[in-house]
Amino acid sequence: MRKIQMVDLISQYEQIKPEIDIAILSVVEKAQFINGPEVSAFQTELENYLNIKHVIPCANGTDALQIALMALGLKPGDEVITPSFTYIATTEVMALLGLKPVFVEVDKNTFCIDPESIRSAITPKTKAIVPVHLYGQSAAMESIMKIANEFDLFVVEDNAQAIGCDYTFADGTKKKTGTIGNIGCTSFFPSKNLGCYGDGGAMCTNDDELAEKIRMIANHGQSKRYYHDVVGCNSRLDSIQAAILRIKLSRLDAYNNARQNVAAYYNEAFENVQEITTPFKASNSNHVYHQYTLKLDGIQRDDLQNYLAEKDIPSMIYYPVPAHRQKMFSAFGSNALNLPITDWLTERVISLPIHTEMEEEQLRFIADEVKTFIQQTKK
Ligand SMILES: *Cc1c(COP(=O)(O)O)cnc(C)c1O
């Protein structure tokens, strides 16, 4: 049995090595490292895949979120509603831009932002909502868009963990996550569902004006070379990464399917284990399982992690400290917030290995060891 990893990028590379090697070499041979034809080809292919008018590639997912918020023309002190139960990048960029992150609760089943919690956090200063499609499942976008329309708020989707996920509206319309709000942001960090071999990210939108602004901001605020209209930054996807992403985009649905099969295996294995709640799947979203995250009940999580580590099974806690409890945000007084569901989840979640090349032997071993640990602690 291969060594079990949270994400096994070497096994994945071995499967696509000939194609990847040729693609990387051809960029090197042409020496078009920045903004080469691979970048525009990838952009078009991603636009087609997501069924959206504009994709604007950038340097990483954090930049994507920052540039998206810059493009909305928000002013310092404006409030942005966002879940506390997320990766720090979602909320950090708000503080960086002088905006006020307003942390709200997530749904205890889906782990995604709770629409009712959004509603009660709205003030006259609220300008935007940033939902996160956490672990690969869509937030409740229909309710979120309804609230956004009612209060005239922008919606920026943090789609770093859910590229390829479909959301179905009540009338049956299907859309990809990231294409529902005003702007969608994603990351191509190597371990993401669509990952490159370094850093990368992208924004997408159907709004021509926003797309133009995003492009300018990501390129030093230029409208024309050496004419800088607004303060921007330098955020680019390089050609080697784009060449790799083109190959992996053509396999994204198969990759997500492989993840779904892993989840199905775990779900069945843990079906009758009382101490474990397997991931909830909302009926209006499919789930692309960026993470496979359990909720534990009556189990010492540290002990389970240590036990698994002894068997060479890695596991992770995403995330041990929610945003509102981070020192970084103490100036916002958020440490005093009462978010009981977020705190409750923070103490109970554990993510098991999931990736595109997992073998049944590995899955059986992991599931058996988790169950053995639970049996032992019961005695
Ligand atoms: C990975 C991630 C990001 C940031 O992406 P980077 O490319 O690492 O900057 C933002 N939000 C979420 C939810 C993520 O998982």
Residue nearest to atom 7 of ligand 1 (CA): 61
Q: Compute the distance from residue 66 Cα to the ligand 1 centre, in Å.
A: 11
Ligand 1 atom with least separation from CA of 133:
13
Whether 194 lines ligand 1, by a CB cut-off of 6 Å, is: no
Q: Compute the distance from residue 324 Cα to the ligand 1 centre, in Å.
A: 17
Whose CA is closest to 186, among 68, 64, 286, 71? 64
Q: What are 22's two structure tokens?
A: 């040729």
Q: Compute the distance from residue 90 Cα to the ligand 1 centre, in Å.
A: 7
Please state which architecture CATH assigns to domain 252-378: Alpha-Beta Complex (3.90)
Question: Around Cβ 191, how many Cβ atoms within 10 Å?
Answer: 13
By DSSP bridging, strand 166-168 and strand 174-176 are antiparallel
Residue nearest to atom 14 of ligand 1 (CA): 160
Termini Cα distance of the chain: 30
Which pLDDT value is given to residue 264? Answer: 98
Radius of gyration of the chain (CA): 21
Sign of CA dihedral 141, 147, 152, 153: negative
Whether 167 lines ligand 1, by a CB cut-off of 6 Å, is: no
Which pLDDT value is given to residue 190? Answer: 98
Q: Compute the distance from residue 65 Cα to the ligand 1 centre, in Å.
A: 9
Domain ranges of the chain: 9-249, 252-378
Please state which architecture CATH assigns to domain 9-249: 3-Layer(aba) Sandwich (3.40)
Q: What is the pLDDT along the chain (379 residues), one digit of tens a residue?
A: 999 999 999 999 999 999 999 999 999 999 999 999 999 999 999 999 999 999 999 999 999 999 999 999 999 999 999 999 999 999 999 999 999 999 999 999 999 999 999 999 999 999 999 999 999 999 999 999 999 999 999 999 999 999 999 999 999 999 999 999 999 999 999 999 999 999 999 999 999 999 999 999 999 999 899 999 999 999 999 999 999 999 999 999 999 999 999 999 999 999 999 999 999 999 999 999 999 999 999 999 999 999 999 999 999 999 999 999 999 998 888 888 999 999 999 999 999 999 999 999 999 999 999 999 999 997 6
> Rounded to whole angstroms, how far apart are CA atoms 100 and 95?
6
Q: Compute the distance from residue 302 Cα to the ligand 1 centre, in Å.
A: 26
DSSP letters spanning 203-226? EEES-HHHHHHHHHHHBTTEEETT
Which pLDDT value is given to residue 104? Answer: 98
Task: Write the CA distances from 244 to 38, 177, 248, integer angstroms.
Answer: 9, 22, 6
Q: Compute the distance from residue 323 Cα to the ligand 1 centre, in Å.
A: 14
79-83: strand order across its sheet? 54-58, 201-205, 183-187, 154-158, 126-129, 79-83, 100-104
Helix (H) or strand (E) holding 66: helix 61-71
Whether 201 lines ligand 1, by a CB cut-off of 6 Å, is: yes
Question: Around Cβ 346, how many Cβ atoms within 10 Å?
Answer: 18
**pTM more than 0.95:** yes
Residue nearest to atom 5 of ligand 1 (CA): 61
Helix/strand/coil for 83:
strand
Q: Which of the listed residues 66, 84, 113, 158 should we mutate to test ligand 1's pocket, taking the one with most ligand atoms within 8 A of CB?
A: 158
Which pLDDT value is given to residue 333? Answer: 84
- Mark 147-185 as b/e (b = at least 16 C-beta within 10 Å): bbeeeebbbbbbbbbbbbbebbeeeeeebbbbbbbbbbb
Amino acid at 192: K
Q: Which residues are 228's β-sheet partners?
A: 222
Which pLDDT value is given to residue 336? Answer: 84
Q: What are 207's two structure tokens?
A: 């709004």
Q: Compute the distance from residue 1 Cα to the ligand 1 centre, in Å.
A: 31
Ligand 1 atom with least separation from CA of 189:
7
